[in-house]
Amino acid sequence: MYVRSLELKNYRNYERLNLDLNKGLNIFVGENAQGKTNIVESIYYLSSLRSHRTNRDRELIMWGKDKAYIRADVEKMFGKHTMEFLLSSEGKKAVKIDGVKTSKVSDFLGTVNVVIFSPEDLKLVKEGPAIRRRFIDAELNQIRPKYHHAILQYNHILMQRNNLLKSILKSPSLKMTAEVFSEQLAEYGSFITEARYEFVKKLSLISRLIHRKITNGKEELEIIYKSASGENMDRKSIKDELYKYYTENIMEDAEKGYTLKGPHRDDIIIKINGADARIYGSQGQQRTAALSLKLSELEIIKSEVSEYPVLLLDDVLSELDINRQHFLLDALKEIQTVLTCTSLNDINEFHFENKDVFKVTAGKIEKFNAV
């Protein structure tokens, strides 16, 4: 799949933009704060109905304007689609696919698949569990629309339970009310945990093979899903374990003021040669592991939808050494890639049959043939 054309109106610093992209490598070069990442962000929006930088659509609208518009023509193996998004400063949004308005996110997710790799993703290994949960959730949302619904429902019910927990110590009679949430939390929580576990099994297998290639067989990468739900990862066992916890530990959670157990607390453990990479890995090892994980996303999505997603590389080459740069770019021959950088020096030596270069200056884009 690939994005053939992109149109923006009043989006970030683009008052009006019409852009044609090719199936191969599309390079956007320019100084910082000129609008390169805004292009990447708008394409990411096509897959997720959200930005990778903010949760507020209002920030995507040009200063002083009330609305922003995104339109993209997408070509896939089994057809073409036109996607349109109208964002309002009031927080409302309108979405159309092939001219038909849709209000259900599940009808929209999966129309186009995107993988993004930015400097923030290099923190996948060394930062806390939240960033790794977001990494898993972002991909599962694309390939399993029901997962997105489960996450929304789980988080909503969890917030209700946590709000109630803060009042139980003063009003113990509210304990019975908290028990009402146990069944629903266990139902959605078990679905989320099982889906993540299955995803991580695939991720571990594929990333291990990729990591071996990057390190010339010197390192073995292992990804393990760490859940508080126990060792049995079938859905019934997970649900029983979660339900037992939610019903039997209300007062313990009330003392803390929040729910201590569930998929919102789970993590993945990343090991290199048997050692926890977060604790014992060098910076180079951690970055190689992050690269292996991101490249694995491409293969997992292809296995699910039968074609590669669009890959967005936002100023990430400057964070990788030359060997990792070579491995990354050599892997992109069959994938539409949108790459941002501040200089063309790092990519002049790489040969791509389909390659376009765009100069970005203060929200204006000019195509040229410098490479």
Instruction: Find out whether 195 and 141 touch, Cβ atoms under 8 Å.
Output: no
List the strands of the sheet with 114-117, edge to edge: 114-117, 310-314, 337-341, 25-29, 355-361, 364-368
**DSSP secondary-structure letter at 264?**
G
**Is residue 36 part of an annotated ligand binding site?**
yes
φ, ψ at 253 (rounded to 5°): -65, -35
Annotated binding residue 255: no
Closest CA to 50 of 19, 87, 14: 87
Ligand-binding site membership of 35 (annotated): yes
Q: How far apart, in Å, are the Cα atoms of 364 and each of 16, 57, 368?
A: 9, 22, 13
Q: Is 189 annotated in some ligand binding site?
A: no
Q: Which one-letter amino acid corresponds to residue 27?
A: I
Annotated binding-site residue? 34: yes
* Sole residue written with tokens 């997992």: 300
Contact 174, 164 (CB under 8 A): yes
CB 349 within 8 A of CB 152: no
How many Cα atoms occupy the beta-carbon half-sphere of 49 within 13 Å? 22
Residue 218: CB atoms within 10 A of its CB come to: 10
> Which secondary structure element, helix H or strand E, spans residue 86, and what is its range?
strand 79-88
Residue 31 counted as an annotated binding residue: yes
Helix axes 283-305, 129-143, angle to 10 degrees: 20
Q: Find out whether 33 is annotated in a ligand binding site.
A: yes
- Enumerate the known binding-site residues: 30-37
- Enumerate the known binding-site residues for ATP: 30-37
